[in-house]
Structure formats: structure tokens, C-alpha cells
């Protein structure tokens, strides 16, 4: 009986509780994938359907057909996304949080920076809590997080990290749950980077204000995150084309822009890395703006990759296998040239040592 109780306790802590909390999170406002935000997004999609139907701009006979129908929402890839959404909760408890906690003590926090700046330049008079400062602090937190997400996203499109991010891009159809189809290695890097950068920003902001300032929230969520999640954010991972137009898309990331990011067309590669803002894409040369006229898109990373990412197990393990295969040839190549010191013949052609790297990096990144 004691053994059974022990097994149940571990099962409850590592499986039942995380999955239950993940399910209940659908009904709160802390994440994009919630009932309220889903209803808001599909409400926008329905309005778009009625508008296009009235103008004769769509051949869809029903709203269900307009958003993709059975072929999208019951596609094998979509069903995998639904399962992975709950498996992620287990991975978070079993891997993400323990690894983050190992590194966390070595990350400087806002209090550390506040003390450092105070010792360096002396204490400042306290401005006190007020609505304007709370709004400004909330804006700063939002911008810092979005900026970090842009560069983390861009980094995972590089050759050595692409295998982990390919988990997300391997989906041949897009549903809101695809947003959760992210490898735990990417989540760890993103979380650590965000924590480090927010600590620096908060410490600097608090020093200027003379003490700690609370950010303004709506229903317990940073107000700008709540606003952006309410504005059709879940349509980014759908087949519903919603463009904000070429002017606004220099600042705000539209669903159409993120669908361009998922396109398998080479002209769309390495474009639109932004999450909420496309401002960073504009600033750093990765912007692709859209128009109200839908582009014909195919999603995914090719049929071969699609066949390799058909199970939860493959989503978790395959990136490590692919990365190891990349590392071993590179390691063997460096080792061979470190041990062999050939004497070039007079007049012989020089060897381009970068050619091997270029030949092995002809992937999407």
C-alpha cells in the first residue's frame, strides 16, 4: 500500500497535476491560448468571413470552411499539437524548471542592479507609486520581453539551433495550439534570456524612480500583453489571412506576417521574427509586409521533415539527433585538419576551408 501511495504521489506531482493545471490555464488570462482570447480571435475571423463573403472575395460556403475545416483542425499535425500542449506541462515540471533553477542563482536580478547603481551613483529620491510610472514600467517590460523574444527567435533560426526550432516549423497546418509546439530547449534559453534582461531593465528603472515600481496590469496580466492577446493574436497560427497593411505592419506584427514566417517558400525564409511587434524586423532588416490580398502559402519544412515529426517522442528527441549529426562531421573535419599538416605543392590551388561549412548549411536558416 505504501508503494502504491508513493507511486501515486509521484504520478500526481509529475503528470496529473501539470496536465490539470495546463487544462485549467485555458480558462485564465495568463496565456494567449485561453477561451477569452480564442473567442476574440475567432470573432475577428468571423467578421472577416462575413466581409469577404459579402464582397465576393472568398469561395468558402461556411465559416468552418473559411477557417480551414476538418482538413486543418483534425489534421494529424493538429492532433499532435493538441497532445503536445499537455505534454509540455510535464516537460516544464520535469526539465525546464529544474534546469532554470540550476542557472537562476547566477543571473543578476533587479535588486542586484538597483544596489549596484545606488553604490555607483548614490541613492535617488523616491518618486513613489503612481499610475503614469506603472504604465511606463509596464511598457518597458513589454518592449524588453518582445525584444528578447525577437533575438532568441532569430538565434534559433541559425544553423546550430535550427533543429530545435524546426519542431515548431515542421507543422504543415497551423492551429492556435501550434504556438505551444516549441522544444523545451528553446523555452529554457528564452526564459533565461528574458529573466536576465528584465532584471537589468527593472533595476535601472527602479534606480531612476528611487525604488521599486509595480507594473500596471489588467486582470493580473501586463496590460499590453492583455491588449495584444485580445487583438486576434491566435490567428497567427491559423489559415485565416489578416493583414494590417504595409504601414502598420512596420510596427505591429499581423497574423498574415507570421504566416509568411511559416511559409516554405524560399523568398519568405528568415523574415518576420517578431512576436507582437514587427518594429524589430524593420530595424534589423528582416521585415516582410503583406497586403489585404492573401498570398498562396504552404506551411512546414518539407514532406521529409513532416514524416519525421509525427509523434510527441519525435518532437522531443529528433532535434538532439539532428544536432549531433551536424556536430560530428564538423568535429571530425577539425580533428582531421588538426592532425594532418600537408605541405602544399608549388602552384597548387588553395583549399577553401569554408566550403565544407557552406555545403553542410544549405538548410532553411
At 330, the pLDDT band (50, 70, 90 cuts) reads low
At 358, the pLDDT band (50, 70, 90 cuts) reads very low
At 337, the pLDDT band (50, 70, 90 cuts) reads low
CB 183 within 8 A of CB 164: yes
Distance in angstroms (rounded) separating the CA atoms of residues 348 and 264? 42
Model pLDDT, residue 336: 57
Distance in angstroms (rounded) separating the CA atoms of residues 352 and 341? 15
Model pLDDT, residue 7: 72
Distance in angstroms (rounded) separating the CA atoms of residues 104 and 84? 26
CB 206 within 8 A of CB 110: yes
Model pLDDT, residue 91: 93
CB 309 within 8 A of CB 300: no
Taking only Cα atoms into account, the Rg of the chain, rounded to an integer number of angstroms, comes to 24
Tens digit of each residue's pLDDT (9 = 90 or more) over 90-143: 999 999 999 999 998 889 889 999 999 999 998 888 887 788 999 999 999 999
Kindly give the interhelix angle for 110-121 and 184-209, rounded to the nearest 10 degrees: 30
At 1, the pLDDT band (50, 70, 90 cuts) reads low
Calculate mean pLDDT across residues 7-28.
78
Distance in angstroms (rounded) separating the CA atoms of residues 89 and 22? 6
Taking 60 as the threshold, does the pLDDT of residue 360 lie above it? no
Taking 90 as the threshold, does the pLDDT of residue 275 lie above it? yes
Look over the chain and give the mean of its residue pLDDT values, rounded to a whole number.
87
Q: In 305-343, which positions are buried (b, 16+ CB within 10 angstroms) versus exposed (e)? A: bbebbeeeebbbebbeebbeebeeeeeeeeeeeeeeeee
Taking 80 as the threshold, does the pLDDT of residue 155 lie above it? yes
Q: Which of 68, 49, 37 is nearest to 172 (CA)?
A: 68
Model pLDDT, residue 364: 64
CB 37 within 8 A of CB 233: yes
Calculate mean pLDDT across residues 327-345.
56
Cell representation of residue 232: 486576434
Taking 50 as the threshold, does the pLDDT of residue 86 lie above it? yes
**DSSP letter at 301?**
S
Q: Which of 278, 23, 315, 313 is nearest to 170 (CA)?
A: 315
Cell representation of residue 230: 485580445
Calculate mean pLDDT across residues 264-272.
96
Distance in angstroms (rounded) separating the CA atoms of residues 79 and 36? 22
Amino acid at each position: 500500500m505504501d508503494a502504491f501511495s508513493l507511486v501515486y504521489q509521484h504520478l500526481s506531482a509529475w503528470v496529473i497535476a501539470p496536465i490539470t493545471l495546463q487544462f485549467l490555464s485555458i480558462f485564465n488570462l495568463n496565456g494567449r491560448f485561453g477561451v477569452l482570447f480564442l473567442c476574440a480571435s475567432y470573432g475577428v475571423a468571423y467578421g472577416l468571413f462575413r466581409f469577404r463573403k459579402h464582397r465576393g472575395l472568398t469561395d468558402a460556403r461556411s465559416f468552418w470552411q473559411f477557417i480551414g475545416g476538418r482538413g486543418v483542425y483534425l489534421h494529424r499535425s493538429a492532433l499532435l499539437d493538441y497532445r503536445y500542449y499537455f505534454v509540455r506541462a510535464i516537460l516544464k515540471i520535469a526539465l525546464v524548471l529544474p534546469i532554470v533553477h540550476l542557472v537562476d542563482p547566477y543571473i543578476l536580478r533587479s535588486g542586484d542592479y538597483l544596489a549596484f547603481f545606488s553604490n555607483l551613483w548614490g541613492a535617488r529620491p523616491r518618486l513613489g507609486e503612481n499610475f503614469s510610472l506603472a504604465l511606463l514600467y509596464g511598457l518597458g517590460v513589454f518592449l524588453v520581453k518582445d525584444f528578447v523574444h525577437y533575438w532568441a527567435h532569430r538565434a534559433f533560426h541559425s544553423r546550430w539551433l535550427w533543429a530545435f526550432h524546426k519542431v515548431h516549423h515542421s507543422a504543415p497546418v497551423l492551429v492556435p495550439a501550434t504556438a505551444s509546439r516549441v522544444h523545451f530547449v528553446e523555452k529554457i534559453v528564452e526564459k533565461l534570456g528574458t529573466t536576465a534582461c528584465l532584471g537589468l531593465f527593472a533595476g535601472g528603472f527602479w534606480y531612476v524612480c528611487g525604488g521599486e515600481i509595480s507594473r500596471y496590469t489588467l486582470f493580473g496580466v501586463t496590460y499590453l500583453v492583455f491588449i495584444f492577446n485580445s487583438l486576434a493574436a491566435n490567428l497567427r497560427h491559423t489559415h485565416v489571412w489578416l493583414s494590417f497593411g504595409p504601414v502598420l505592419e512596420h510596427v505591429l506584427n499581423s497574423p498574415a506576417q507570421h504566416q509568411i514566417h511559416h511559409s516554405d517558400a524560399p523568398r519568405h525564409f528568415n523574415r518576420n521574427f517578431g512576436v507582437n511587434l514587427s518594429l524589430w524586423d524593420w530595424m534589423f532588416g528582416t521585415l516582410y509586409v503583406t497586403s489585404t490580398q492573401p498570398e498562396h502559402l504552404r506551411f512546414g519544412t518539407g514532406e521529409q521533415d513532416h514524416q519525421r515529426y509525427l509523434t510527441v517522442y519525435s518532437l522531443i528527441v529528433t532535434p538532439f539527433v539532428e544536432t549531433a549529426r551536424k556536430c560530428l562531421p564538423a568535429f571530425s573535419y577539425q580533428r582531421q585538419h588538426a592532425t594532418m599538416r600537408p605541405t602544399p605543392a608549388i602552384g597548387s590551388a588553395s583549399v577553401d576551408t569554408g566550403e565544407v561549412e557552406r555545403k553542410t548549411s544549405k538548410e532553411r536558416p
